[in-house]
Structure 1
Amino acid sequence: MQQNLFSTIGLIGKYSDSGVEETLTGLVGYLRQRERKILLDEATAEVVPGLGLETASRTELGRSCDLVIVVGGDGTLLNAVRSLAGHSVPLLGINLGHLGFLADISPDCMAHCLDEVLAGNYQEEERCLLHAAITRDGEVISESSAFNDVVVHKWDIARMIEMETSINGVYVNTIRADGLIVSTPTGSTAYALSGGGPILYPSLEALVLVPICPHTMSNRPIVVHSSSTVEVVVAEQSQPYAQVTCDGQVNLGLTAGDRVVIHTNPEPVRLIHPAGHDHFELLRAKLHWGRRLA
């Protein structure tokens, strides 16, 4: 029945934001008035202990909740997406950050937007999630998910690294650059955009490979199908200076002979937006594009 839509709701808050407690307190009061069961992320509960809620691990949130509301910025939502990977629970973001491409509801209009969502008046979209694995001698030695991008890059050195790239087992090129970004459409407005990559529509079944400061200017971004498997091997002389970073938050080390294998997860990420959500309006607002002529 309509009144039971999203009957169990999980809450995740940004750990270091001074405004998260006030927003979470208001959100808890709102959901209690609407007789929703609330589960609080146990890590968030350590920072905001006074809410008096049942706590749960991220895995338990994924298993038990009909909806997870993330209070913070896009970085908080990126973290939540990775930790809930493999669960089909939809996520909705309350934005306390700066850009807010993903967490697109402001605290000021939170109650109105949630009224619409809980009444079933919302937009849901599915977005792809990357999986990155580092293999050594044929075995996976480390792995992580990424919602925005997987970046193979140099660290702590003012020199380029050399990388060989293949797609679906077919050799593409060898480049000397500061790194290589493998981005989802979601991540195309993040680091990949700064590197000169194209903006991809979120539902597009594609990935984009963006070299970072390549030595040869003919090394341009490449768009491939989202079903592609991208493999990157860093040259042996560059290995001590290279690492892999997922969403700018998870670092994976590399040693000589390691291969970085990147593909999309079979389970997509489900995002909830307020009714009337317009991606191009979001781009205009966040990227400060011009107004219409008439």
Structure 2
Amino acid sequence: MEQFRNIGIIGRMGSIRVLDTIRRLKRYLIGRHLHVILEDRIAEMLPGHNLQTSSRKLLGEVCDLVIVVGGDGSMLGAARALAQHKVPVLGINRGSLGFLTDILPEHLESQISEVLAGNYTTEQRFLLEAEVRRDGVTIGEGDALNDVVFHPGKSTRMIEFELFIDGQFVYSLKADGLIIATPTGSTAYALSAGGPIMHPRLDAIVIVPMHPHTLSSRPIVVDADSELKVVVAEDMSIYPLVSCDGQNHVTCAPGDTLHVQRKPQKLHLIHPLDHNFYAVCRDKLGWGSRLGQDNK
């Protein structure tokens, strides 16, 4: 008896390679006599598919497993929609990096077969929830698997703000922005801004200033249960943005406050048994192989 019977498929829009992989995946799963459900948006790109369709939100309610075909950006969007349903999610990489989507298309049948047979590992990745308040009233909110970024938007000017952690004042800062990242997001934008790489199992959040005006402002790693508050300076002339995973944006006014904390629901991410975080880092970040061995 298969552990997964109802399998949802989400795909990145606008990619011929993604559509080709979804067609191949669909044929394979149907050949295994599994019930396949397509996300409605990708289903429109596959005329004549003759399959059940569903919104992304409802996929989490009706599926035992959701497979995301695309890059890490596709996984980020899927994670925000699916985390609350606790449905396991598996990624097939059709992007560039693939930190989160780790099955290669050329190994699709063999590795999916292993997963269907129960040969896989599961990781729980936490998300952040961000809320922007104005005079105590929420004006915008969003979730992020990678990071919440406070930045000046199209302006080239620095922004000024104050940072509080668990109600305690940390510092006031002029900078190009501030990145608040999960361990999952530590290998994304936060890394390019000088933040540390954190293992996905760490229960921590990293706060990374972007080109701060003072060179002594360094990344800070705090407990994942911390409550963070960023207060926008009241005398600023620009309106900065808060971006969640670079996909959802809220415009802030001077005096607004950004509140960030861990989201209670987690993403249940499936990996093949041979998944190795450090091997992924070696491959994606160009780290050296063991001495005397070719870099593969």
Q: Which of the numbers 48, 51, 58 marks the counterpart of 2:49?
A: 51
The alpha-carbon deviation at position 46 of structure 1 amounts to: 2.1
CA contact (8 A) 2:82 2:267 kept: no
Q: Which of the numbers 269, 274, 281 marks the counterpart of 1:283?
A: 281
Q: Which of the numbers 146, 152, 171 marks the counterpart of 1:154?
A: 152
Q: Which of the numbers 240, 256, 259 marks the counterpart of 1:258?
A: 256
Distance change >3 Å, CA 143–CA 49, structure 1 → 2 = farther
Correspondence list, 1:29-44, <5 A: 29-44=27-42
The alpha-carbon deviation at position 21 of structure 1 amounts to: 1.4
How many positions carry a matched residue from both structures? 292
Asked if residue 22 in structure 1 is aligned to residue 20 in structure 2, the reply is yes
Deviations 1:92-134 (A, max 9, x none): 0000000000001111001110010000000100011010111
Partners of 2:12 and 2:178 lie apart in 1 by 29
Partners of 1:50 and 1:221 lie apart in 2 by 51
Quote the residue 1:94 is aligned against. 92
Asked if residue 200 in structure 1 is aligned to residue 211 in structure 2, the reply is no
CA contact (8 A) 1:123 1:274 kept: yes
Quote the residue 1:238 is aligned against. 236
Give the unaligned 5+ runs of structure 2: none
Partners of 1:129 and 1:6 lie apart in 2 by 25
CA contact (8 A) 1:243 1:252 kept: yes
What residue identity is the alignment partner of 1:130? L
Quote the residue 2:291 is aligned against. 293
Deviations 1:192-216 (A, max 9, x none): 0000000000010000000000010
Quote the residue 2:128 is aligned against. 130
What residue identity is the alignment partner of 2:227? T
Partners of 2:237 and 2:205 lie apart in 1 by 25
Partners of 1:77 and 1:49 lie apart in 2 by 24
Quote the residue 1:61 is aligned against. 59
Partners of 2:84 and 2:139 lie apart in 1 by 20
CA contact (8 A) 1:153 1:179 kept: yes
What residue identity is the alignment partner of 1:5? Q
Partners of 2:100 and 2:204 lie apart in 1 by 18
- TM, length-normalised to structure 1: 0.97
CA contact (8 A) 2:239 2:253 kept: no
The alpha-carbon deviation at position 51 of structure 1 amounts to: 2.0
CA RMSD between the two structures: 1.1
CA contact (8 A) 1:156 1:241 kept: no
Quote the residue 1:219 is aligned against. 217
CA contact (8 A) 1:178 1:213 kept: yes
Quote the residue 1:189 is aligned against. 187
What residue identity is the alignment partner of 1:242? P
- TM, length-normalised to structure 2: 0.96
Partners of 1:23 and 1:246 lie apart in 2 by 28
Distance change >3 Å, CA 226–CA 133, structure 1 → 2 = same
CA contact (8 A) 1:126 1:271 kept: yes
Q: Which of the numbers 108, 112, 123 marks the counterpart of 2:106?
A: 108
Greater shift, 65-74 or 255-264, is seen at 255-264
Q: Which of the numbers 254, 269, 276 marks the counterpart of 1:271?
A: 269
The alpha-carbon deviation at position 139 of structure 1 amounts to: 2.0
What residue identity is the alignment partner of 2:8? G
Asked if residue 80 in structure 1 is aligned to residue 78 in structure 2, the reply is yes
The alpha-carbon deviation at position 239 of structure 1 amounts to: 6.1
Q: Post-superposition, which runs of at least 4 consecutive aligned residues in structure 1 deviate over 3 A? A: none
Deviations 1:69-99 (A, max 9, x none): 0000000110111122311011100000000
Partners of 2:138 and 2:54 lie apart in 1 by 30
What residue identity is the alignment partner of 1:289? W
Give the unaligned 5+ runs of structure 1: none
